[in-house]
Amino acid sequence: MYNNRGKIVATIEARMTSSRLPGKVLMDFCGKTDLQHIVERLGRSKYIDEIVVATTINEEDDPIIDLCKNIGCKYYRGSEEDVLLRVLEAAKSVEADYIVEITGDCPVTDWRHSDHIIEMFFSGEYDYVSNTIERTFPRGFDTQIFPVRILAEVNEITQNPVDHEHVSIYIYTHPEKYKLLNWKADEKMNHPQFEITLDTIEDYEFIKQIYEILYLKDFDFSAQDVVNLLIKHPHMIKSLENTDRKDPFKEQKEWKEKHEKTI
Inter-CA distances, 178 with 33, 126, 164, 169, Å: 36, 8, 18, 12
Start-to-end Cα distance in the chain: 45
pLDDT at 242: 44
- Which of 33, 184, 60, 17 has the alpha carbon at shortest distance from 113? 184
Distance CA 248, CA 162 (A): 7
Q: How confident is the model over 19-67, as pLDDT tens digits? A: 899 999 999 999 999 999 999 999 999 999 999 999 999 999 999 999 9
Closest CA to 10 of 105, 74, 56: 74
In this prediction, residue 236 carries a pLDDT of 86
pLDDT of residue 255: 46
Domain 2-262 in CATH 3.30.70.2740? The answer is no
40-57 burial, b if ≥16 CB within 10 A, otherwise e? bbbeebebbbbbbbbbbe
pLDDT of residue 240: 44
Q: What is the distance between the alpha carbons of residues 80 and 86, in angstroms, rounded to a whole number?
A: 8
Residue 251: the pLDDT is 54
Other beta carbons within 10 angstroms of residue 254's beta carbon come to 13
What pLDDT is attached to residue 246?
59
This prediction has a pTM of: 0.91
Looking only at the bridges linking them, the beta strands covering 8-13 and 50-56 are parallel
The residues, ordered by sequence, that sit 6+ positions from 93 with a Cβ below 8 Å of its Cβ are 52, 74, 76
Domain ranges of the chain: 2-262
Residue 117, pLDDT score: 98
Average pLDDT for runs of 10 along the chain of length 263: 86 95 97 98 98 98 98 98 98 98 98 98 97 96 98 97 96 97 98 94 94 97 97 77 51 54 52
pLDDT in the model for residue 257: 56
Q: What pLDDT does residue 252 have? A: 56
